[in-house]
Amino acid sequence: MKQLKERIEDHIVNISDFTATPGKGTTRLTYSPEDLQTRNYIKEKMKEYGLKVREDGFGNIFGKLEGILKDAPSVMVGSHFDSVPNGGAFDGPAGVVAALEVAALFGKNNVTPKYPLEVVALVEEEGSRFGGGLMGSRGMVGLLSDEDFRSLTDKDGITTEEAMVKIGLDPTLVRRRDPKTMKAFLELHIEQGPILEEKKIPIGVVEAIVGLTQLEVTVEGQAGHAGTTPMDRRADALVTAAKIVSQLPGLADEEGERTVVTVGRFNVFPNGANVIPDKVVFSVDIRSGKEANVLNVIEKTKSLISSFNENGIKTCVEELLYIQPKELNQGIRSLLKEKSEELQIPYCSINSGAGHDAMVFSDYTDVGMLFIPSKNGLSHCPEEWSDSKDIAKAVQIFYETAKNLTEAE
């Protein structure tokens, strides 16, 4: 039997061949011919590893290792296998491959779990074909109704069900999964950022998936001639906005705990070189793994902004989006750290700045998540790369954790 790292490398290479854009990264849209090739590969490996294979009415794939207990909830391990257009070979598949190898270790070591172990490969996490994203996981837990699922179409007007049928999937299969059938969900994902690589640490134990707030700030002043209006007679919306923006990073620093603030969109009106700006509209994106941090920074941002309401300046803040941070299960986080220590694998705590299927499941079952380093922090591009050695480390940690959660003897 090949070494774990080599086996992982083989899987990644094999799966990366299933792309619609050879030589230009991985393009694997949901229910495409490349989806079918990947699906067949995953199902074949599941069977090879002694798992009972099943698909649901979304085309999510499940490979189950039965436990001693009948009809008991499963400890699920997995991730998604779709990609963005011209993406990388690791975003998604790294987690599916890790899950397959966790199951393989159960078989290889003749471990019989008390609770079933299930390898899960999810569709349409990226939303690249039907939009929205997280479709496989959201559908499974009932956050996407049958009606809404059926009405989704791709850019050519092809519906989800038509696309499924085209690659031989059965859309009449059961879609919803009772949360009572899930005992836990473990997901390995590439970090898609620079932190682990910089720290030279192979494993990040995800503490929380960050919440997201988007504010839209409007600063209004008075337009005027750039040449004839004296400096002390101006209500310059841009100068005020610039003062506000320059103070925002300080609010995040003050809050600490990896709280981040970003102004990424900035529009000046009327945007003429010789006109004093009378209006500026900009975005403020606030993220943190802890809701209290997010709420504090929102409060401080609002009061900072309103403090500029004088001398002809009028400000207004609108909250466009608020998504709560999701703290992952405390018990599983501890277990992942404990197993890393036992295996002498260095790890650190990390927050996920992006949404994942794990985030969806965290409202329905106990969820744990590991990150591995991304080379140069790159993702969603052909250069995306992670070391199979690191995936192998995650497999070992998940194997020990899964033995514990399935109460294997």
Q: Which stretch binds Zn ion (CB under 5 A): 54-62, 85-93, 151-159, 170-178?
A: 85-93
In the complex, the smallest distance separating the C-beta of residue 93 from Zn ion, rounded to whole angstroms, is 9
Nearer to Zn ion, 35 or 91 (CB): 91
Nearer to Zn ion, 9 or 91 (CB): 91
Nearest residue to Zn ion by CB is 91
Minimum CB separation of residue 335 from Zn ion in Å reads 23
* Residue (of 1, 6, 53, 123) closest to 395 by Cα position: 6
Q: Is 91 in the site for Zn ion (CB under 5 A)?
A: yes
Torsion from C-alpha of 357, 77, 83, 361, nearest 10 degrees: -10
Dist. CA 406–CA 409, nearest whole Å: 9
Nearer to Zn ion, 152 or 358 (CB): 358
> From CA 259, how far away is CA 250, in angstroms rounded?
11
Sequence-distant (≥ 6) Cβ neighbours of residue 157 within 8 angstroms:
none
Per CB under 5 A, the segment of 88-96, 100-108, 217-225, 296-304 that binds Zn ion is: 88-96
Q: How many residues bind Zn ion (CB under 5 A)?
A: 2
Of 2-10, 92-100, 377-385, 398-406: span binding Zn ion (CB under 5 A): 92-100
Query: Computed over its alpha carbons, how large is the radius of gyration of the chain?
Result: 24
Peptide bond into 270 cis (omega under 30): yes
Is residue 92 close enough to count as binding Zn ion by CB under 5 A? Answer: yes
The structure tokens listed for 167 are 């690659």
Residues 273-302 that bind Zn ion (CB under 5 A): none
Sign for the pseudo-dihedral over CA of 49, 55, 59, 63: negative
The interaxial angle of helices 330-342 and 388-405, nearest 10 deg, is: 120
Q: Which is nearer to Zn ion, 124 or 327 (CB)?
A: 124
Q: CB-wise, 119 or 408, nearer to Zn ion?
A: 119
Contact range with Zn ion by CB under 5 A, out of 87-95, 116-124, 172-180, 400-408: 87-95
Which positions touch Zn ion (CB under 5 A)? 91-92
